[in-house]
């Protein structure tokens, strides 16, 4: 079967037919590409749709779950990982995927992001990084490069961007990878690995916003910004051969960490067994 | 007499934790805060014993988020906090109301505003519990005035939340939370528990927000074959976002209706000597304990004083107060705040009938303070 045919069937099987299309995203947006990569990854893994939950926060990326025929939840701004933590704890057998934008995940949701990573709870966190708040009109975000102009940084951004992968590794995530919306097959592969990882797994999907931040900074059309993702990105192996100066402005792609750390819900199951054993042995005087 | 029903010395916060377990609560997420911390500590120990889950989250915002996530996964879920935490939870109280996710929020009130006096009692969150989140939504708020009532009302809070798919706030206060009393708990088999409704329709027909049956459609857990969408956006019957005015207003009408049509179930209160009284005292929480003593002293002096103890604060029991107030000219409303529920009493009974008694300095009333106002007003 040709890839095209297979993909059209994937869409038929995973998108919601009741939902009114088209979607909310601007023509040329990268978020739909991430959506495609997620459903193809789930399809490739042959997961039962009933066992998959897709949660999001607020913003352009926040609109993703409604189109997909999983158990879906569009939560509040920045808090999707906290909602997902509750769901995962009572449904540890489910694959819980959380999609967030960069502002959602790292500004308003920054605290939840580092603590979910620290706990190493088995969630798949996909951050669509377009370096801006697209839905509200292109304001600077925690990943906007220094010097870039935005409606709320009309004289240029004086803040440093968060390196999402470094932050995730330092906070304790078990799996950390980065790709771009240009490198679709690689992105799909990383997402599939992240879903199957037992532990907190982060995939940064570098994207762009051509209608707000891109337009304001005259970065060109969507195809031009897409081409830049191709030209500016290098693999980890290539990056290792470059000096720090040469690495400036490059998007480094690859799997940065894939380590085995005890997963939170598995540890909690042990707590339950221990508590029940102690209670049955009469170690706990409290009754009910 | 078994271990359950043996009389014992119990703290209010402990009764809340045990009431939650008895109600079927199997998930708690919270953040340490005085004077509610004991509830978290006890549930950290007790929940795994019954196969449940306890998690200490990074803040109160995350705590209620995790509770809602767990509730969508099918668990009866709760958090416990105090004023500062309630302020942080407000966005998610609105989310739970919007998405109609059952959950229980315990607020052991302390003196505010802001950090206030963390170890001192107050009743300053009555309005915050009702109106704290933005937009229009109904909510149920109940307030216990003894340790045994904490147990009973915690069970009721879960039952209301499941029955009506709504967030429920259990409004305690520092004294009720920390006070120890001799209590005899009901036997587990005598406790009435409302379980989440189920459906007989196949997954493709399931509409989590339809107006059936009786304004409260069943909420099915994620992971069991009924895939649907939950959102804080206004949504249609399937849960998909909508901007249609003919879908938004009917939904809003329904979520208000599901509470208003069931007031006989939801409104909890105790009336005593209201029929032949000329003065009525309305109180709740710890203040009801103090006020009852003042009422009894005054009656001992031959005065006709009625007493109305409110357990359900929201929806405000308008008809109950209206009925009692119709024949009376004097209503005394003591509260450990600058006058919150008294506003509701004034709205229903008329301002000129109501005398507020207020104190918000971290101390509870002396019975004499309430007695003085009752008698100053009693001919």
Give tens-digit pLDDT for A72-116: 999 999 999 999 999 999 999 999 999 999 999 999 999 999 999
Specify the pLDDT at position B4.
73
Is the CB of A198 inside 8 Å of chain B's CB atoms?
A: no
Q: Cβ A85–B228 below 8 Å, yes or no?
A: no
Instruction: Tell me whether residue A96 is in a domain.
Output: yes
Instruction: Give CA separation, A66 vs A93, A99, A288, B129, B239, in Å.
Output: 22, 12, 43, 31, 9
Question: pLDDT per position in chain B (379 positions), as tens?
Answer: 466 789 999 999 999 999 999 999 999 999 999 999 999 999 999 999 999 999 999 999 999 999 999 999 999 999 999 999 999 999 999 999 999 999 999 999 999 999 999 999 999 999 999 999 999 999 999 999 999 999 999 999 999 999 999 999 999 999 999 999 999 999 999 999 999 989 989 999 999 999 988 899 999 999 999 999 999 999 999 999 999 999 999 999 999 999 999 999 999 999 999 999 999 999 999 999 999 999 999 999 999 999 999 999 999 999 999 998 888 989 999 999 999 999 999 999 999 999 999 999 999 999 999 999 999 865 5
Total structural domains within chain A: 1
- Chain A contacts of B66, Cβ < 8 Å? 82-83, 85-86, 89
Q: Where are the alpha helices (DSSP H) in chain B?
A: 12-23, 37-49, 60-72, 83-99, 126-131, 147-164, 174-178, 245-260, 263-266, 285-300, 318-326, 341-349, 367-377
- Chain A contacts of B224, Cβ < 8 Å? 50
The angle, 0 to 180 degrees and rounded to 10, between the axes of the packed helices A264-280 and A80-90 is 40
Instruction: Tell me whether residue A228 is in a domain.
Output: yes
Instruction: Tell me whether residue A269 is in a domain.
Output: no
Q: Which residue of A has its CA nearest to B222?
A: A71
- Chain A contacts of B15, Cβ < 8 Å? none
Instruction: Give CA separation, B195 vs B159, B161, B187, in Å.
Output: 8, 10, 18
ipTM: 0.97
Instruction: Tell me whether residue A271 is in a domain.
Output: no
d(CA B348, CA B316) in angstroms, rounded, equals: 10
Of chain A, the percentage scoring pLDDT greater than 70 comes to 95
d(CA A154, CA B331) in angstroms, rounded, equals: 60
d(CA A162, CA A145) in angstroms, rounded, equals: 9
A285 pLDDT band, cuts 50/70/90, is very low
List A residues 74-133 in contact with B (Cβ-Cβ < 8 A).
Answer: 74-76, 79, 82-91, 93-94, 111-112, 115
Nearest to A37 by CA among A195, A222, A160, A162: A195
Q: Cβ B48–A275 below 8 Å, yes or no?
A: yes
Domain range for residue A84?
3-261
- Chain B contacts of A111, Cβ < 8 Å? 58-59, 62
Q: Which residue of B has its CA nearest to A14?
A: B227
Residue A123 has pLDDT above 60, yes or no: yes
Instruction: Tell me whether residue A185 is in a domain.
Output: yes
Nearest to A41 by CA among A160, A197, A252, A226: A197
Q: Cβ A288–B229 below 8 Å, yes or no?
A: no
Query: Which CATH number goes with the domain that contains A15?
Result: 3.40.50.970
Is B134 exposed, middle or buried, given 0-12, 13-18 or 19+ CB atoms closer than 10 A?
A: exposed
| Domains detected in chain B | 8-190 (3.40.50.970), 270-377 (3.40.50.920)
Instruction: Tell me whether residue A273 is in a domain.
Output: no
Q: How far is B330 from chain A (nearest CA, A)?
A: 46
Q: Which of B18, B49, B233 sits opposite A284 (nearest CB)?
A: B49
Q: Cβ A75–B18 below 8 Å, yes or no?
A: no
List A residues 228-267 in contact with B (Cβ-Cβ < 8 A).
Answer: none
């Amino acid at each position: 079967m040709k890839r095209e045919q297979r993909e059209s069937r994937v869409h038929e099987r995973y998108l919601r037919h009741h939902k009114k299309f088209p979607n909310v995203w601007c023509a040329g947006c990268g978020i739909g590409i991430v959506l495609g990569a997620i459903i193809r990854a789930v399809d490739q893994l042959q997961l039962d749709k009933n066992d998959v939950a897709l949660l999001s926060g607020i913003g352009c990326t926040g609109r993703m779950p409604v189109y997909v025929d999983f158990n879906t939840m569009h939560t509040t701004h920045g808090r999707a990982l906290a909602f997902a933590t509750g769901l995962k704890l009572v449904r540890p057998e489910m694959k819980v995927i959380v999609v967030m934008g960069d502002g959602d995940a790292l500004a308003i949701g920054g605290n939840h992001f580092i603590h979910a990573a620290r706990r190493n709870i088995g969630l798949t966190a996909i951050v669509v990084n377009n370096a801006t708040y697209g839905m509200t009109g292109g304001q600077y975000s925690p990943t906007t490069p220094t010097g870039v102009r935005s409606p709320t940084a009309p004289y240029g951004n004086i803040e440093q961007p968060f390196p999402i992968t470094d932050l995730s590794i330092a906070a304790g995530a078990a799996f950390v990878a980065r790709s771009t919306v240009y490198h679709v097959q690689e992105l799909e592969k990383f997402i599939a690995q992240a879903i199957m990882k037992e532990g907190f797994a982060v995939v940064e999907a570098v994207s762009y916003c051509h209608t707000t931040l891109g337009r304001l900074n005259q970065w060109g059309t969507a195809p031009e910004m897409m081409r830049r993702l191709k030209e500016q990105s290098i693999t980890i192996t290539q990056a290792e051969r470059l000096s720090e100066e040469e690495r400036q402005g490059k998007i480094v792609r690859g799997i940065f960490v894939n380590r085995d750390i005890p997963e939170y819900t598995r540890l909690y199951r042990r707590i339950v067994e221990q508590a029940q054993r102690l209670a049955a042995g009469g170690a706990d005087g409290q009754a009910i | 007499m078994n271990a359950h029903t043996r009389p014992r010395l119990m703290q209010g916060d402990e009764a809340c934790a045990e009431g939650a377990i008895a109600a079927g609560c199997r998930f708690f997420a919270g953040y340490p805060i005085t004077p509610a911390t004991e509830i978290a500590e006890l549930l950290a120990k007790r929940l795994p014993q019954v196969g449940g889950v306890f998690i200490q989250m990074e803040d109160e915002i995350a705590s209620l988020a995790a509770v809602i996530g767990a509730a969508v996964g099918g668990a009866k879920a709760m958090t416990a906090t105090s004023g500062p935490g309630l302020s942080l939870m407000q966005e998610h109280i609105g989310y739970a109301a919007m998405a109609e996710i059952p959950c229980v929020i315990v607020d052991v009130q302390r003196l505010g505003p802001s950090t206030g006096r963390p170890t001192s009692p107050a009743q300053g969150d009555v309005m915050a519990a009702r109106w704290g989140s933005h937009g229009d939504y109904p909510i149920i708020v109940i307030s216990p005035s003894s340790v045994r009532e904490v147990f009973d009302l915690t069970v009721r809070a879960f039952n209301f939340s499941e029955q009506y798919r709504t967030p429920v706030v259990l409004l305690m206060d520092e004294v009720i939370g920390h006070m120890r009393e001799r209590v005899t708990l009901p036997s587990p088999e005598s406790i009435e528990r409302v379980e989440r409704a189920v459906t007989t329709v196949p997954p493709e027909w399931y509409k989590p927000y339809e107006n059936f049956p009786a304004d409260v459609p069943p909420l099915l857990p994620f992971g069991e074959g009924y895939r649907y969408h939950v959102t804080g956006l206004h949504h249609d019957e399937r849960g998909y976002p909508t901007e249609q005015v003919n879908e938004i207003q009917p939904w809003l009408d329904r979520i208000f209706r599901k509470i208003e049509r069931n007031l006989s179930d939801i409104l909890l209160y105790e009336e005593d000597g209201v029929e032949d009284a000329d003065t009525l005292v309305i109180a709740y929480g710890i203040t009801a304990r103090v006020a009852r003593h003042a009422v009894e002293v005054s009656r001992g002096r031959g005065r006709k004083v009625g007493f109305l103890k409110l357990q359900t604060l929201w929806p405000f029991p308008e008809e109950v107060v209206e009925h009692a107030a119709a024949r009376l000219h004097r209503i005394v409303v003591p509260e450990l705040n600058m006058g919150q529920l008294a506003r509701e009493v004034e709205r229903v009974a008329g301002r000129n009938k109501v005398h507020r008694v207020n104190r918000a300095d971290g101390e509870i009333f002396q019975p004499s303070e309430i007695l003085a106002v009752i008698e100053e007003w009693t001919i």
